[in-house]
């Protein structure tokens, strides 16, 4: 589906259930490729598989020896910093939210590490993800972006960001802020556990469906669950992760828009 992982998770789970050696070999190749590209955060195949198997969603020691979500084990300092200080912490700033929606769309089919490494280039190219400015981009701007080697040069994704910026302007007129809109999809307290260790949730399906109805692009339910995790609608740091308690405390203090 548009905006979601290129290989269906159902294919992965079918392979896991196969008893023949070829099936296990295919499974190993898929998992190993995802592992080496550090694609868990958010939503790569390996990470999605881990989250579907809670017993495998464990911690691993970071560079300082403290336990962290296993998806950032052996990662770069920038990747660990993203895990420690951004992923899962609640966000209410509209420009940051539009950035997250946009970068989740760009990440589709790629590793999150690739997007994170290019994030400053994306910010410069898309005016700090000020959606009011991006909404005015025209075909000449698209051509410049397609020539920008510092970002992912995918016409469909670039045009989706511009389209979504225009839809964001419309949404703000209705909801007041993007934050008010996105936080309205926060799961109820008794539903939070059901949103853990999954790649798609009821909230992400509802959010995806509503955004598509409004004309947004590259906002499939898997991509939207990654957004839900990243912006703090849920706390998906695993038990024992050094950052989990910090995120939980931040969510308690956070004033919902």
Catalytic residues: 82, 104, 112
**In angstroms, how far is CA 81 from the centroid of its own chain?**
16
Residue 133 CB partners (closer than 8 Å, separation 6+): 127, 165
What gap in Å lies between CA 139 and CA 26, rounded to an integer? 42
254: its two tokens: 């956070």
Q: For residue 231, give every residue at least 6 positions away whose Cβ sits within 8 Å of its Cβ, in sequence order, or none.
A: 90, 91, 97, 100, 182
The pair of three-digit structure tokens given for residue 79, joined into one six-digit string: 């990747």
- The answer to whether residues 207 and 224 touch, using CB atoms and an 8 Å cutoff, is yes
């Amino acid at each position: 589906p548009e905006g979601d992982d290129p290989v269906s998770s159902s294919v992965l789970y079918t392979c896991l259930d196969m008893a023949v050696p070829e099936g296990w070999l295919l499974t190993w190749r898929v998992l190993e490729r995802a592992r080496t590209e550090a694609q868990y955060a958010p939503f790569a195949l390996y990470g999605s598989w881990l989250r579907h198997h809670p017993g495998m969603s464990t911690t691993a020691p970071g560079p300082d020896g403290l336990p962290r979500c296993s998806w950032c084990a052996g990662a770069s300092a920038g990747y660990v910093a993203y895990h420690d200080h951004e992923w899962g912490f609640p966000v209410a700033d509209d420009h940051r939210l539009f950035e997250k929606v946009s970068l989740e769309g760009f990440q589709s089919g790629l590793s999150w590490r690739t997007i994170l490494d290019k994030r400053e280039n994306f910010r410069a190219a898309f005016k700090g993800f000020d959606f009011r400015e991006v909404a005015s981009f025209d075909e000449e701007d698209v051509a410049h972006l397609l020539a920008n080697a510092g970002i992912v040069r995918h016409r469909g994704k670039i045009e989706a960001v511009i389209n979504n910026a225009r839809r964001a302007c419309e949404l703000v007129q209705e909801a007041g802020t993007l934050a008010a809109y996105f936080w309205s999809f926060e799961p109820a307290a008794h539903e939070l556990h059901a949103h853990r260790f999954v790649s798609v949730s009821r909230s992400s399906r509802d959010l995806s469906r509503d955004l598509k109805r409004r004309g947004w692009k590259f906002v499939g339910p898997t991509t939207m669950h990654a957004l839900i995790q990243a912006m703090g609608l849920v706390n998906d740091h695993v038990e024992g992760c050094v950052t989990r308690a910090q995120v939980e405390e931040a969510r308690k203090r956070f004033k919902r828009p």
